[in-house]
Amino acid sequence: MVTKYDVFEYVYKKGNPVKPLEIAQAFRKGKADYQAIYKMLINLAENKFVEKNRYGFQALRSRRNDLAYNIIKFCMSNQINHNDLLDKGLAEFVSKAFLKKRFAINDFKMDPRRVVKYVNILSKCGLLIILSRKPLEATIPYNSFLGDLIAYFGYKVLAAKHKEDEYYGEIGKELKKFSQFSKTNEEKYKEIIDDFETRFIQHSLSIEGNPITLPETIKLLKNKIVPKDVSLESIQEVQNYQKAMQKMVQDTVERSPLTKALILSYHYLAMYHLPEIAGKIRQKPVYIEGNPDYTVAKVDEIEKRLSGLMEEYNKFIAKKKHALKDILQFAAYFHNEFQHIHPFSDGNSRTTRLITFHLLRSQNIPVFDIPLGLLEEYIFSTKGAKKRGDKKLIHVMQKIVLYNLKSINEKLS
């Protein structure tokens, strides 16, 4: 069903005046739907989203309209139904949830069924983490997309300052469930992994500026359909990162430990489209674009620091059993140390995520994706941070692990 937001997005993107019949044809609607689309356009004009002129209907530019279009565009890029999120009631719910570290149904003066509906919509998008189903308890990590959604509907964008909450108890419970579910439903587990891995490839590369959307990534990797108006390098980035990801997953299945050579091979596969740097330690200084405060190793320090990190890794895996807290603490240290070494000319962050996932998976913690709602928090805990903060990353990692476990277990059960 075509909505007014679908019509607005089409008119806004076109820029030039368009007629109702053209819009109906664009949405593959017949003449019978013409009147409904015309009424939507009149409604949009009354609310100053578009104007009607002698040539048809044309989008009006304003900060509010730009915000609406950017929200819709973000949703389309991430395979989210924007009609679900462009709901004033949902925006009000998020604005109140932001003020709480954790929330339950009775924290809102709303019909409990509406609260459950909003929780399910946001959870499905990766914008909310369900901590418990019965009784319902959840948390919404702050991110600028949801901030924009709140602002669009006129609510103040406020978020509570959270102390570093611990989710080890919840993670432990979910790990026990996962151990049972994954063994009894192996085929379903493999399907879930494929879906998660595709999302991770898109999420991971979007951080690095790759413009290919989630729907386009799915079509490219599963159906070999190449997106239009995208550079060959962007396409190769996606395809090559899939190969690196698949290699990493197979290595963890076979219990292959990380070595310098293995890390170089992941980088080689991921950056195969740039043969001059693929799998090679850099020989020139680099810096983090947009973050001059982020320090990386000098060229003559790389080998020594990398060897030191691998020594720490070997000591860690030599011990057969680790407490959950120790695993996540070491994973955060390992992630940040490798990223600060920055051994490659390009592709450091995407390689860091692969080897950190390898480490976690080798400890029987199934992590396949960084959900949409945590991408921003993850970035500002790593290469977007003004100073190194392993404690912040530990906190984010707990939520990433918990989201992965909750999502996998719900699908398996």
pLDDT tens track for 58-117? 999 999 999 999 999 999 999 999 999 999 999 999 999 999 989 999 999 999 999 999
Give exposure, 133-145, as e/b (b: 16+ Cβ within 10 Å): eeebbbbbbbbeb
Please check whether residue 331 is in contact with residue 359, taking contact to mean a CB–CB distance below 8 angstroms: yes
pLDDT, tens digit, 9 for 90 and up, residues 137-161: 999 999 999 999 999 999 998 877 6
Looking at residue 199, its pLDDT comes to: 95
List the domain boundaries for the chain: 4-61, 66-152, 168-412
For the chain, the first-to-last Cα distance in angstroms comes to: 32
Q: Give the E-state strand segments of 145-231 in sequence order.
A: none
Per-residue confidence of the chain (413 residues) as pLDDT tens digits? 889 999 999 999 999 999 999 999 999 887 778 899 999 999 999 999 999 999 999 999 999 999 999 999 999 999 999 999 999 999 999 999 999 989 999 999 999 999 999 999 999 999 999 999 889 999 999 999 999 999 999 999 887 766 666 899 999 999 999 998 888 888 888 888 889 999 999 999 999 999 999 999 999 999 999 999 999 999 999 999 999 999 999 999 999 999 999 999 999 999 999 999 999 999 999 988 889 899 999 999 999 999 999 999 999 999 989 999 999 999 999 999 999 999 999 999 999 999 999 999 999 999 999 999 999 999 999 999 989 989 999 999 999 999 999 999 999 98
In words, the CATH class of domain 66-152 is mainly alpha
Q: Does residue 410 contact residue 178 with C-beta atoms inside 8 Å?
A: no
By DSSP bridging, strand 50-53 and strand 56-59 are antiparallel
**Residue 163, pLDDT score:** 63
Determine the pLDDT at residue 186: 83
Q: Confirm if 403 and 367 have CB atoms less than 8 A apart.
A: no
In this predicted structure, what is the pLDDT of residue 1?
Answer: 81
The per-residue DSSP string of 249-286 comes to HHHHHTTPPP-HHHHHHHHHHHTTT-TTTTT----S--
What are the backbone dihedrals phi and psi of residue 262, each rounded to the nearest 5 degrees, phi first? -70, -40
Q: What are phi and psi of 238, to 5 degrees?
A: -65, -50
Which residue from 16, 136, 154, 10 is spatially nearest to 69, judged by alpha carbons? 10
Answer whether 309's CB lies under 8 Å from 334's CB.
yes
Fold of 168-412: Fic-like fold (1.10.3290)
β-sheet bridge partners, residue 52: 57
* Type of residue numbered 50: V
CATH top class, domain 4-61: mainly alpha
Cβ atoms of 351 and 270 within 8 Å: the answer is: yes
- Please list the residues that pair with 18 across neighbouring strands: 57
Confidence at residue 30, expressed as pLDDT on a 0 to 100 scale: 77
Peptide bond before residue 215 is cis, with ω within 30 degrees of 0: no
Does 66-152 match 168-412 in CATH topology? no
- Contact (CB, 8 A) for 200 and 370: yes
- 138 and 108 Cβ atoms separated by less than 8 Å: no
Please list the residues that pair with 56 across neighbouring strands. Answer: 53
